[in-house]
Every structure is written in C-alpha cells, then in structure tokens.
Amino acid sequence: MEGKLTTHVLDTAQGRPAAGMTVDLFRVDTLGERHHLKTLTTNEDGRTDEPMLEGATFQPGVYELLFEVGSYFQSSLSTPNPPFLDRVPIQFGIADETSHYHVPLLVSPWSYSTYRGS
C-alpha cells in the first residue's frame, strides 16, 4: 500500500469549508532549510483536488504546509490590516511511507488548531 499526504481546511469563523485557500508544501532538510514542492488551492469542500504527496514523492522526512489564511479571510470577512494571522505554518514528520497522513487545519482570523487526521 502506498501512502499519501492530504489536507483539509475548515473555516471555524464562518462554519464552512475554506474554499479557495492557497496551500504551499515544503520539504525541510536536515539543516532546517525549506524546499518548495508544490502549491495547491482548496476546493469547495476545503480539500485539495489531489493529494499533496503520493507515490514516489511520498517519502519519510520533515515537511511543512503553509496556509495563506490572511488573504483567505480578507476576501471573505472584514479583518484588520495587517491580519492577526497571515500565514500558518505546520511542520510535521512522516515516518511511514505506507500510511495516510492527513493534516487538517481548523482556522479563524484569530486562532487555529491541527491534528493528525485519518
């Protein structure tokens, strides 16, 4: 079984999926430097249309998802400029290349949380 990395963003301020949010994926090397792998945008369900990683690109290591929450909320709510939260980084490790790693983000203009989902 091949593993994969997926994400899902829920807008807790408006009680709906966060459609149209930009998400960047980076691999973090042993020196802590980030290497950009891809940029995707969430769909109407707050998910990306394809996995962030799968197949041969899904390898053990340290990764970072960078969520563009500031621009998302500025387009849908009246938020201060600059926003309290602009970019939300989530750094995590992948240890098992046969597992599904799901990294959801629950976010409002003032707070966020995440967990390893299924």
Query: What long-range pairs does 80-88 form, CB within 8 A, spacing at least 24?
Result: 83/109, 84/109, 84/110, 85/109, 85/110, 85/111, 85/112, 88/112
> pLDDT by residue (tens digit) across 20-48?
999 999 999 999 999 999 999 999 999 99
Concatenated DSSP letters of 47-87:
B-SS-SEEGGG--SEEEEEEE-HHHHHHHHS---SS-S---
* Structural domains of the chain, with CATH: 4-114 (2.60.40.180)
Alpha carbons 94 and 54: distance in angstroms, whole number: 12
pLDDT for 41-88, tens place per residue? 999 999 999 999 999 999 999 999 999 999 999 988 888 899 999 999
Q: The whole model's pTM is what?
A: 0.95
